[in-house]
Amino acid sequence: MRSITLLLTFSIATATLAADTNTLALKAIRGDATAVRALRAMGQPGVDALMAVRAKAAPQPFARAVDAVCRQRDCAWSGLYWYTDLDAAKRAAQQSRKPILSLRLLGKLDDELSCANSRYFRTLLYANGEVSKYLRANYILHWQSERPAPLIDIDFGDGRKLRRTVTGNSIHYVLSPTGQPLDAIPGLYQPPAFLSLLREGVALHRLVDRMGDARAKTDALRAYHYNAYYVLAKPSRWAIAPLSPANEVRRSRDDRLAAWAAGSFAPSKSGGEGPVLDRVSFDARAFGMVADLAAMLKSKTVGPATIDEHSRSLIQVKRAAAPVASMRSAKSLEALLENLERTLEADTRINEQKFHAQIHRWFAVGEVTTVDAMNDRAYDELFLTPRDDAWMGLVSDTSFTGIEGEGLTIAAR
């Protein structure tokens, strides 16, 4: 009899809690800031509470509320909760014994105009059904802004305006629950490749976590990255991939990564506009690899589709807001997706063969200390946007624009 009473009490308490969170979620959708803060403090369950009442809300108020709780733009499509405090993320990771996926980006992940790569992450990676499910089950998520994302406005003089972000790149760090760097995933990847690296990150975390002491952990980490670097540096040579069983594709890195040779960089454009135009994010190209990407796309045909239906739907929603009718057509969407698949594959190969290989080398030779130190090197040496360059490569000391003061102003603070 007592067990029945306890079961009934538990059921009533559970139902009451569900009713309370539903009420809180509906208040948040109506714009109640206190309800938003309360759901945010709950973590992933707060996001889940909102997703549970999605059918009862209009799309725009729901999107505003869930983005505020997730701290991620387009969270209605991913349902993922993100920490913005690394110490809080580490506490959650230690409680759950999960690794941390820490994103560094230009701008903020919950802003529409964060840097180009982070926008593609939200649309093509986090919104992907398999990726979002895996992230939720296996990682604690965290993001941190590296610096604001520079914006450029083009006024056509007749009421038409174009706004884009300029330059910038983003990188995901796989961290242990204590914040130790385990790996880094630089830039944009195709969803299957990104998912494969996420699985490998979890396997690497478990491998290192099993090691008895700090020296053994360091040795295991360096051995893994030495092997990964060797395979990327010499893709025609066979090498053992110790974590390949962690991947559902059941193939070694040597099999998964085709040989690729980077094209030479094109000479810099002359003139005052060159440095700016080279870095405007009109499409998937990221600064630092425009020439490589162009060389690859000359002969690249469309491979297997990697953009899932969930991401396609989000792309359609975003395109529907365009004031140009041709951009909203089915024909335009299919052409966009075909081009996006080509650039995604090129991005993946370039980021893996060029940037990730260098990251593996840093780990292999013991040059990785903390995530902040590693992040400084990534932005300085890989993305070529060091913190000490206030203008992020957009201004040249040797170019002339014919504009007074070269068009530069610094607002008083």
| Integer Cα distance of 30 and 56 in angstroms | 11
- What single letter denotes the amino acid at residue 395? V
For position 268, what pLDDT does the model report? 26
Q: Is residue 402 part of a domain?
A: no
Residue 10's pLDDT band, with cuts at 50, 70 and 90, is: very low
Q: Is residue 405 part of a domain?
A: no
pLDDT at 145 over 80: yes
Q: Is residue 42 part of a domain?
A: yes
Q: Most confidently modeled of 45-54, 166-175, 224-233, 236-245?
A: 45-54
Same domain, 200 and 276: yes
Report the CATH number that the domain containing residue 212 is assigned in CATH.
Answer: 3.40.30.10
pLDDT at 397 over 90: no
Of the listed ranges 160-169, 270-279, 306-315, 386-395, the least confidently predicted one is 270-279
Same domain, 34 and 124: no
Q: Is residue 6 part of a domain?
A: no
How does pLDDT run across 295-343, given as a tens digit for each residue? 555 555 556 789 999 999 999 999 888 888 888 888 888 988 988 998 8
pLDDT at 9 over 90: no
Same domain, 27 and 135: no
Look up residue 332 and give its two tokens.
């335009």
Q: Please report, rounded to a whole number, the percentage of residues in the chain having pLDDT higher than 70.
A: 78
Q: Please report, rounded to a whole number, the percentage of residues in the chain having pLDDT higher than 90.
A: 50
Look up residue 348 and give its two tokens.
């993946």
For position 255, what pLDDT does the model report? 35
| Integer Cα distance of 372 and 280 in angstroms | 27
Task: Find how far residue 36's CA is from the centre of its chain.
Answer: 24
Integer CA distances (angstroms), 171 to 152, 277, 378, 379, in order: 23, 23, 8, 9
Of the candidates 116, 141, 111, 146, the one whose C-alpha atom is nearest the C-alpha of residue 126 is 141
CB atoms within 10 A of CB 309: 9
Long-range contacts: 293-296, Cβ < 8 Å, 24+? 293/343, 293/346, 293/347, 293/350, 294/263, 294/266, 295/262, 295/263, 296/260, 296/263, 296/346, 296/349, 296/350
| Integer Cα distance of 216 and 195 in angstroms | 27
Look up residue 77 and give its two tokens.
């499509």
Same domain, 59 and 130: no
> For the chain, how long is the longest CA-to-CA vector?
89
Q: Is residue 403 part of a domain?
A: no
pLDDT at 8 over 50: no
DSSP state of 143: E
Same domain, 32 and 177: no
Same domain, 246 and 131: yes
Q: Can you give 147-213 as a three-state secondary structure string?
A: ECCCEEEEECCCCCEEEEEECCCCEEEEECCCCCEEEEEECCCCHHHHHHHHHHHHHHHHHHHHCCC
Contact between 157 and 175 under an 8 Å Cβ cutoff? The reply is: no
Residue after which a domain boundary falls, among 26, 46, 70: 70
Of the listed ranges 8-22, 23-37, 188-202, 345-359, the least confidently predicted one is 8-22
> Looking at 323-381, which runs of residues are DSSP E strands?
none
pLDDT at 348 over 80: yes
Same domain, 309 and 376: yes
| Integer Cα distance of 332 and 338 in angstroms | 10
Task: Find how far residue 401's CA is from the centre of its chain.
Answer: 35
For position 248, what pLDDT does the model report? 40
For position 300, what pLDDT does the model report? 52
SS3 50: helix
Integer CA distances (angstroms), 233 to 196, 267, 345, 355, in order: 19, 26, 19, 11
Which residue range forms the structural domain that includes residue 36?
16-70
For position 178, what pLDDT does the model report? 95
Same domain, 50 and 170: no
Question: Residue 353: left (phi > 0), alpha (psi -120 to 50), or beta?
Answer: alpha
Q: Is residue 399 part of a domain?
A: no
Residue after which a domain boundary falls, among 70, 85, 100: 70
Look up residue 108 and give its two tokens.
């903020």
Q: For the chain, what is the domain count? A: 2
For position 393, what pLDDT does the model report? 76
Q: What is the rounded average pLDDT of the residues 191-216?
A: 92
Same domain, 65 and 210: no
Q: Is residue 63 part of a domain?
A: yes
For position 15, what pLDDT does the model report? 43
Residue 3's pLDDT band, with cuts at 50, 70 and 90, is: low
Residue after which a domain boundary falls, among 27, 42, 70: 70
For position 243, what pLDDT does the model report? 52
Same domain, 159 and 261: yes
How does pLDDT run across 353-396, given as a tens digit for each residue? 889 999 999 999 999 889 999 999 999 998 888 888 888 777 77
pLDDT at 254 over 70: no
Look up residue 357 and give its two tokens.
């290989």
User: Average per-residue pLDDT in the chain?
Assistant: 81
Burial of 90 (0-12, 13-18, 19+ CB in 10 A): buried
Same domain, 53 and 98: no
Same domain, 55 and 202: no
How does pLDDT run across 71-108, given as a tens digit for each residue? 999 999 999 999 999 999 999 999 999 999 999 999 99
For position 134, what pLDDT does the model report? 97
Tell me the chain's radius of gyration from C-alpha atoms.
Answer: 23
Q: Is residue 7 part of a domain?
A: no
